[in-house]
């Protein structure tokens, strides 16, 4: 089949002799990729040799564990919105990267993995080749929507183009290309120009838009819910919110779409109240998971969904209307079709409700004081990378976020330990702004080995480690809900300051929000290498009453 395709290529096209690896690298460059996050090994030696030869156009950021390579690519993808690539050896290399790949899938992030394979003729035979794993392609196919194996030099550019297209088509997400150890170095005459396939655009259904516009315009208490799919439609969401005087609820992945300084911008607890009152909810690039599964739904609430994935809107319950495609173009059409009369401002009402909710959230005062210090020093366009830790849970609810793609949160996987390496990728791809990683003492050690990567590649990432000597979240639950039967949640830690310094990073300890603020000021000025700030903390108050909340309707 591959041969038949090859012979169809017009003979007039300029051709050159290239290895599979060279053709792959050339195709990636054609797609605008300038960095590969990677950990090498014998299966990919020819690929790395091609990267060496392409050094003028392609940087390699090698990491200290495959999960690091994949998380760096994920962080770079989240911070830029552009496809990013990582490369690992097969078997253990692939599996080491799998949690990050899973997270990329959950976050619809365009991350392309290039994964080695055992010799082509041995695949599937169980002979025990180095790094062999049973049905690697099958494992990969469970993790991502698009995957393929490059079996010859002539297939490389086409498969890169198809993977890149798949990552941008309908619901975005990661893709994987495998290549066998003996195929990377094989050469053939291939077209010099690598193809680029445009992502097919979903035709905009004008009738459906008009219908949705009518419902939205007639709504008395509209609520917009913004998810990760709204990150590139911030201007449209903001305008729509103004036109309708509709609050915008965002939690984690949708934060920053509407500037937190706008009183219509709300997070979970106030969002739930508004959900209870709403007659129309417009979900933009969100699963509406909390609304449907926790807060309830009834016939008085019409849900309108905008989603890139045609299958998504029906998953939890059929909505009143679904508009399928990119959030930005659909919202533009929707705004054009809206015949709204001037609505009275809800500013005073929302400011009062925000203030009231803020009082309730004072329960989280210890976390708030640290978040205030962080917000005071992190520039408006600085990027905050969340973790599964007490400060992270509070930040999701309380950290003001001003711009899209400046609050990176791991989505529904909520996988402990993603933060440091993901933030490193974000900082590598966005050297123009400070990136701040926060972590607990538990999560930080998952990828803290990448401090070596940060020092080696001079990545100026700052991390704050909040050290309570525990998997604090687990310990608090054991104390409060399981009769104080504390098990497997106490931690013995290194001296984090000396640990970071031993890598060659700058490090200091801050014992209060004031000290943290001063330390952050110093850290953000440093642009040639990483900084760690350790903050010793006591057990923090539980945020869960503001996250898992009872029904409000239905």
Ligand X SMILES: Cc1ncc(C[n+]2csc(CCOP(=O)(O)OP(=O)(O)O)c2C)c(N)n1
The β-bridge relationship of strands 175-180 and 111-117 is parallel
| DSSP summary character for residue 122 | G
Residues present in the chain in total: 554
The verdict on 472 binding ligand X (CB under 6 A) reads yes
The verdict on 534 binding Mg ion (CB under 5 A) reads no
CB 21 within 8 A of CB 184: yes
Rounded Cα–Cα distance for residues 324 and 550 (Å) = 31
Rounded Cα–Cα distance for residues 470 and 441 (Å) = 7
**Number of amino acids touching ligand X (CB under 6 A):** 17
The closest alpha carbon to 93, from 166, 53, 37, belongs to: 37
Residue 415, binding choice from ligand X, Mg ion, none, Cβ under 5 to 8 Å by partner class = ligand X
Task: Please state the closest distance from residue 22 (CB atom) to Mg ion, in A.
Answer: 47
Torsion of CA 519, 523, 526, 532, to 10 degrees: 120
Residue 474, binding choice from ligand X, Mg ion, none, Cβ under 5 to 8 Å by partner class = ligand X
- CB closest to ligand X, residue no: 440
Work out which of 91, 228, 291, 440 binds Mg ion, going by CB under 5 A.
440
Q: What residues numbered 394-423 form the site for ligand X, per CB under 6 A?
A: 414-416
The verdict on 471 binding ligand X (CB under 6 A) reads yes
CB 288 within 8 A of CB 265: no
Work out which of 132, 158, 468, 506 binds ligand X, going by CB under 6 A.
468
From 81-89, 110-118, 138-146, 432-440, give the range in contact with Mg ion by CB under 5 A. 432-440
The verdict on 535 binding ligand X (CB under 6 A) reads no
Q: What is the DSSP string of 304-356?
A: EEEES-TTSTTTTS--SEEEES-HHHHHHHHHHH--PPPPPP-HHHHHHHHHH
The verdict on 326 binding ligand X (CB under 6 A) reads no
Task: Please state the closest distance from residue 414 (CB atom) to ligand X, in A.
Answer: 5
Cα 122 to chain centroid distance, Å, stands at 36
Q: Which is nearer to Mg ion, 242 or 493 (CB)?
A: 493
From 38-46, 150-158, 256-264, 388-396, give the range in contact with ligand X by CB under 6 A. 388-396
Burial class (CB in 10 A: 0-12, 13-18, 19+), 52: exposed
DSSP bridge partners of 547: none
Task: Please state the closest distance from residue 237 (CB atom) to ligand X, in A.
Answer: 29
Work out which of 441, 450, 506, 534 binds ligand X, going by CB under 6 A.
441
Q: Which H or E run contains 431?
A: none
The closest alpha carbon to 71, from 416, 466, 319, 467, belongs to: 416
Rounded Cα–Cα distance for residues 477 and 177 (Å) = 42
The verdict on 470 binding ligand X (CB under 6 A) reads yes
From 165-173, 309-317, 365-373, 382-390, give the range in contact with ligand X by CB under 6 A. 382-390
Residue 473, binding choice from Mg ion, ligand X, none, Cβ under 5 to 8 Å by partner class = ligand X
The verdict on 468 binding Mg ion (CB under 5 A) reads yes
Rounded Cα–Cα distance for residues 296 and 293 (Å) = 7
Residue located via tokens 């969401």: 237
The helix-helix angle for 365-377 and 513-525 (nearest 10°) equals 30
Task: Please state the closest distance from residue 442 (CB atom) to ligand X, in A.
Answer: 3
Provide the terminal-to-terminal Cα distance of the chain, rounded to the nearest Å: 55
From 5-13, 87-95, 241-249, 436-444, give the range in contact with ligand X by CB under 6 A. 436-444
Q: Residues 471-510 vs Mg ion: string with x where CB under 5 A?
A: -x--------------------------------------
Task: Please state the closest distance from residue 513 (CB atom) to ligand X, in A.
Answer: 16
Work out which of 77, 334, 368, 388 binds ligand X, going by CB under 6 A.
388
Residue 183, binding choice from ligand X, Mg ion, none, Cβ under 5 to 8 Å by partner class = none
Work out which of 93, 247, 291, 440 binds ligand X, going by CB under 6 A.
440
Name the site residues for Mg ion (rule: CB under 5 A). Answer: 440-442, 468, 470, 472
**Residue numbers of the site for ligand X (CB under 6 A)?**
388-390, 414-416, 440-443, 466, 468, 470-474
């Amino acid at each position: 089949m591959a041969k038949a395709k090859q012979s169809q290529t017009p003979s007039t096209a300029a051709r050159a002799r290239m290895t599979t690896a060279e053709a792959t690298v050339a195709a990636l460059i054609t797609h605008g990729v300038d960095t590969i996050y990677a950990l090498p090994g014998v299966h990919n030696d020819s690929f790395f040799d091609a990267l060496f030869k392409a050094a003028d156009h392609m940087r390699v950021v090698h990491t200290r564990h495959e999960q690091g390579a994949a998380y760096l690519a994920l962080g770079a993808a989240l911070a830029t919105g552009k496809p990013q690539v990582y490369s690992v050896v097969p078997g253990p290399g692939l599996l080491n990267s799998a949690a990050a790949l899973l997270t990329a899938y959950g976050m619809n992030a365009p991350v392309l993995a290039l994964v080695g394979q055992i010799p082509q003729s041995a695949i599937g035979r169980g002979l025990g080749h180095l790094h062999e794993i049973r049905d690697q392609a099958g494992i990969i196919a469970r993790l991502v929507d698009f995957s393929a194996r490059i079996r010859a030099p002539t297939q490389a550019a086409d498969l890169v183009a198809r993977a890149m297209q798949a990552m941008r088509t309908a619901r975005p997400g990661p893709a994987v290309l495998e290549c066998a150890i003996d195929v990377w170095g094989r050469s053939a005459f291939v077209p010099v120009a690598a193809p680029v396939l445009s992502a097919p655009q979903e035709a905009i259904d004008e009738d459906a838009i008009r219908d949705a516009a009518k419902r939205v315009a007639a709504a008395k208490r509209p609520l917009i819910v913004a998810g990760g799919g709204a990150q590139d439609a911030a201007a449209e969401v903001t305008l729509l919110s103004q036109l309708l005087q509709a609050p915008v609820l965002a939690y984690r992945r949708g934060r920053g779409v509407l500037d937190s300084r706008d009183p219509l911008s709300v997070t979970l607890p106030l969002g739930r109240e508004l959900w209870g009152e709403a007659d129309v909810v417009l979900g933009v690039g969100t699963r509406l998971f909390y609304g449907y599964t926790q807060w309830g739904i009834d016939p008085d609430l019409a849900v309108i969904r905008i989603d890139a994935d045609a299958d998504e809107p029906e998953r939890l319950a059929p909505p009143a209307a679904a508009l399928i495609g990119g959030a930005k173009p659909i919202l533009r059409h929707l705004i054009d079709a809206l015949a709204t009369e001037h609505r009275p401002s809800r500013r005073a009402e929302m400011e009062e409700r925000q203030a009231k909710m803020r009082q309730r959230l004072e329960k989280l005062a210890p976390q708030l004081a640290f978040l205030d210090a962080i917000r005071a020093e992190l520039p408006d366009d600085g990027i905050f990378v969340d973790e599964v830790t007490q400060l992270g849970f509070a930040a999701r609810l309380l950290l003001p976020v001003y711009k899209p793609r400046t609050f990176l949160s791991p989505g529904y996987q909520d996988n402990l330990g993603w933060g440091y390496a993901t933030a490193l990728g974000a900082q590598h791809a966005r050297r123009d702004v400070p990136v701040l990683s926060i972590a607990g003492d538990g999560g930080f050690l998952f990828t803290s080995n990448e401090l070596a990567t940060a020092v080696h590649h001079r990545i100026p990432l700052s991390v704050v480690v909040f050290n309570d000597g525990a998997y604090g979240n687990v310990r608090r639950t054991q104390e409060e809900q399981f009769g104080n039967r504390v098990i497997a949640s106490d931690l013995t830690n290194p001296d984090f300051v000396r640990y970071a310094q031993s890598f060659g990073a700058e490090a200091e300890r801050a014992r209060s929000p004031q000290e943290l603020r001063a330390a952050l000021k110093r850290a953000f000025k440093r642009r040639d290498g990483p900084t760690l700030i350790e903050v010793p903390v006591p057990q923090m108050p539980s945020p869960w009453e503001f996250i898992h909340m009872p029904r409000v309707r239905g």
